[in-house]
């Protein structure tokens, strides 16, 4: 089993996050490297990565998963979350992407990463989280306390998305 350590991301991690994102999502849904760089410079506090600490076939120090969140006052996910413009800041972190290296999926890395990333953000004062996911991921996020809020207004990639919320 790959052991991981979840930590805040550094500027140098953004290229690796973009590489994982590109492999994890179809092109019309993936955040581009430029968009991720803009996000990191606008709200670096919303980036967490899972770094391999040893074990398995992954070199220690390699980033194997990431979560990118945007501070916002919005409780539901809309296309605005993904735009490069200022949004009203609030007490919610909108999860823009949560990714695991495609070749390492189905090894419980997602389970361990999301738990540790949410805890990292909570220790830094974040109380609420929102996200949009496809229907096959509703149960996954539900296991981590997220509640289904209904169909999302998000039109990213032309897919059908569902909003989920965790918090008060």
Query: Which of 168 and 104 is assigned the larger pLDDT?
Result: 104
**With contact defined as beta carbons under 8 Å apart, do 5 and 60 qualify?**
no
Would you state the pLDDT for residue 87?
83
User: Based on the structure, what is the number of domains in the chain?
Assistant: 1
Residue-wise pLDDT for 46-63, tens only, equals 999 999 987 777 888 999
Q: What is the mean pLDDT of residues 34-46?
A: 96
For the whole model, what pTM was predicted? 0.94
**With contact defined as beta carbons under 8 Å apart, do 133 and 161 qualify?**
yes
Residue-wise pLDDT for 70-125, tens only, equals 999 988 999 999 998 888 888 999 999 999 999 888 889 999 999 999 999 999 99
User: For residue 136, what is the domain's CATH number?
Assistant: 3.40.630.30
Residue 32's domain comprises 3-166
Q: How far apart are CA 4 and CA 64, in angstroms?
A: 8
Q: How many CA atoms lie within 13 A of 136 on its CB side?
A: 1
| Number of neighbouring beta carbons within 10 Å of residue 50 | 27
């Amino acid at each position: 089993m790959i052991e991981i350590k979840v930590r805040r991301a550094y500027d140098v991690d953004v290229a690796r996050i973009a590489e994982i994102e590109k492999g994890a999502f179809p092109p019309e849904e993936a955040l581009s490297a430029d968009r991720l760089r803009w996000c990191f410079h606008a709200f670096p506090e919303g980036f967490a990565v899972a770094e391999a600490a040893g074990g398995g076939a992954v070199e220690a120090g390699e980033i194997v998963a990431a979560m990118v969140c945007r501070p916002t006052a919005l409780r539901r996910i809309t296309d605005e979350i993904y735009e490069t413009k200022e949004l009203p800041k609030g007490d919610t972190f909108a999860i823009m992407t949560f990714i695991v290296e495609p070749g390492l999926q189905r090894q419980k890395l997602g389970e361990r990463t999301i738990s540790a990333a949410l805890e990292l953000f909570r220790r830094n004062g974040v109380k609420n989280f929102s996200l949009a996911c496809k229907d096959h991921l509703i149960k996954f996020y539900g296991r981590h306390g997220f509640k289904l809020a209904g169909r999302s207004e998000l039109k990213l990639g032309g897919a059908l998305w569902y909003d989920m919320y965790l918090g008060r």
